[in-house]
Amino acid sequence: MKALLCTELGSIEKLTVQEVPSPRPGADQVVVDVKASSINFPDALMVKGMYQVKPPLPFSPGAELAGVVKEVGANVRHIAVGDRVVGFCGHGGFAEECLAPADRLMPLPAGMDFELAAAFGLTYCTSLHALQECAQLKSGETLLVLGAAGGVGIAAVEIGKIMGARVIAAASSDEKLAACRQAGADDVINYSREELRQRVKELTGDKGVDVVYDPVGGPYSEPALRATAWRGRFLVVGFAAGDIPKIPLNLALLRERAIIGVYWGDWTRHDPAGHLRNVKQLVKWITEKKLRPLISERVSLRETPAALERMTQRRVKGKVVVLPEA
Ligand SMILES: NC(=O)c1ccc[n+]([C@@H]2O[C@H](COP(=O)([O-])OP(=O)(O)OC[C@H]3O[C@@H](n4cnc5c(N)ncnc54)[C@H](OP(=O)(O)O)[C@@H]3O)[C@@H](O)[C@H]2O)c1
């Protein structure tokens, strides 16, 4: 079978498509014939050796997938050969076949195709958990989303609207902000030419926003935190800009703001029942067409390294789907 392989950490351009032996499942594992997977920012970090998880070399990146079960391990009961499944494999999804832990897979929801299933899990689950469990966003509150046209960002825009918030989307280009408007954003800020804190002040009549969703870090975090209202909540989701900001803690004391870390993957292990509840909620919203995940590109395994590069260069909107058999 063909797999996109990382044979040494450091550079996306060194990824190559190679013919490798089909994987065999351990007792609690499943081999999935991958029909679609999708690109997430952590895939690029993993290849560069900058992610908290470092799989042994060589490995295929690709954290989430959808496909058909080819083989199951001896202990696997809830999934059988031939089942259509979706789920998280951590890595290995950018290949024709993937070895996945059985407990990270679930049946493909009715009415969902492989591409959509592979494209919504990680980003929408992260954003729902962040806004619901971490920020406890309430209807009528104002939500500011940074990197709002990216994978987790655009999911936060859509989910924020469903939860009844007024959503302000911030991103680096007018084209990206048009996609945010399409996803339901009430107001937009182009932070490559507008002053973020000042624009938030203008848009909220000096009050500030109730919740900030920050997957970007770098130069935007501090002005966004300063733009929060009394008892505002600031969600630390990621650092796509590369720099981890060092924030003066007096900003938390002033206005009794809360700075809240979000680590969705860890939360799913602490609260598997809560995670399942959230997945069911998202599937319901998607089948009711209340959520419409944006798939902006479809690429083959050979085209995947270039798509990963585009992601690190801020040139991707929504999700890129990988089709290993293309
Ligand atoms: N905490 C969690 O549980 C969790 C879960 C999933 C992902 N994450 C993290 O969330 C972050 C975003 O992931 P994603 O999959 O949504 O990525 P993405 O689709 O690439 O979106 C990231 C956004 O960050 C902005 N950005 C600003 N500076 C950037 C730079 N130097 N390089 C790349 N992007 C830059 C870009 O928007 P503009 O161009 O508009 O600024 C881009 O759209 C990552 O750090 C990821 O590790 C965290």
- Range 56-80 average pLDDT: 97
Task: Using DSSP, state whether 181 is helix, strand or coil.
Answer: helix
- Check: CB of residue 54 under 8 Å from CB of residue 19: no
Give the nearest ligand 1 atom to 173 CA. Answer: 40
pLDDT value for 300: 98
To the question of pTM greater than 0.85 for the whole model, the response is yes
176 and 104 belong to one structural domain = no
Distance CA 46, CA 89 (A): 14
- Check: CB of residue 212 under 8 Å from CB of residue 220: no
The residue segments making up the domain with residue 25 are 2-108+294-322
pLDDT band with cut points at 50, 70 and 90 for residue 103: very high
The token pair at 240 is 């796509």
**Backbone dihedral angles phi then psi of residue 7, each to the nearest 5 degrees:** -100, -15
Distance CA 149, CA 179 (A): 7
Distance CA 262, CA 90 (A): 18
Which of 265, 285, 310 is where one domain is finished? 265
Pocket test for ligand 1, best of 37, 52, 152, 154 (most atoms within 8 A of CB): 152
Span from the CA of 114 to the centroid of ligand 1 (angstroms):
24
pLDDT value for 294: 96
Span from the CA of 112 to the centroid of ligand 1 (angstroms):
26
Cβ < 6 Å from ligand 1: which residues?
40-42, 122-123, 126, 147, 149-153, 171-172, 176, 215-216, 218, 237-242, 262-265, 311-312, 314, 316
239 and 192 belong to one structural domain = yes
131 and 221 belong to one structural domain = yes
Asked whether the predicted pLDDT for residue 130 surpasses 90, the reply is yes
Residue-wise pLDDT tens digits, 265-275: 999 999 999 99
Q: 């993993």: which residue's tokens?
A: 46
248 and 140 belong to one structural domain = yes
Residue-wise pLDDT tens digits, 181-228: 999 999 999 999 999 999 999 999 999 999 999 999 999 999 999 999
132 and 254 belong to one structural domain = yes
Span from the CA of 211 to the centroid of ligand 1 (angstroms):
18
Give the nearest ligand 1 atom to 261 CA. Answer: 1
Q: What CATH number is associated with residue 140?
A: 3.40.50.720
Asked whether the predicted pLDDT for residue 97 surpasses 90, the reply is yes
Kindly give the interhelix angle for 272-287 and 114-129, rounded to the nearest 10 degrees.
120
Asked whether the predicted pLDDT for residue 282 surpasses 90, the reply is yes
- Local structure of residue 59 (DSSP, 8 states): B
Pocket test for ligand 1, best of 37, 39, 41, 270 (most atoms within 8 A of CB): 41
131 and 240 belong to one structural domain = yes
Give the nearest ligand 1 atom to 319 CA. Answer: 19
The dihedral built from the CA positions of residue 310, 311, 316 and 320, taken in this order, carries a sign that is: positive
Span from the CA of 81 to the centroid of ligand 1 (angstroms):
36
261 and 135 belong to one structural domain = yes
CA 307 to chain centre: 16
Per the domain annotation, does 117 fall within a domain?
Answer: no
How many of the other CB atoms lie within 10 Å of CB of 220? 20
Span from the CA of 20 to the centroid of ligand 1 (angstroms):
31
pLDDT value for 175: 97
Q: What percent of the chain has pLDDT over 70?
A: 100
* Tally of CA atoms within 13 A in the half-sphere of 98 that contains its CB: 35
Per the domain annotation, does 26 fall within a domain?
Answer: yes
Give the nearest ligand 1 atom to 239 CA. Answer: 45
239 and 313 belong to one structural domain = no
- Local structure of residue 210 (DSSP, 8 states): E
Distance CA 92, CA 113 (A): 20
- Range 52-80 average pLDDT: 96
pLDDT value for 46: 97
pLDDT value for 111: 85
Q: What is the mean pLDDT of the chain?
A: 97
203 and 256 belong to one structural domain = yes
Tally the residues of the chain.
326
How many of the other CB atoms lie within 10 Å of CB of 150? 26
Task: Using DSSP, state whether 236 is helix, strand or coil.
Answer: strand
The token pair at 291 is 């959520």
Per the domain annotation, does 153 fall within a domain?
Answer: yes
- Range 262-290 average pLDDT: 95
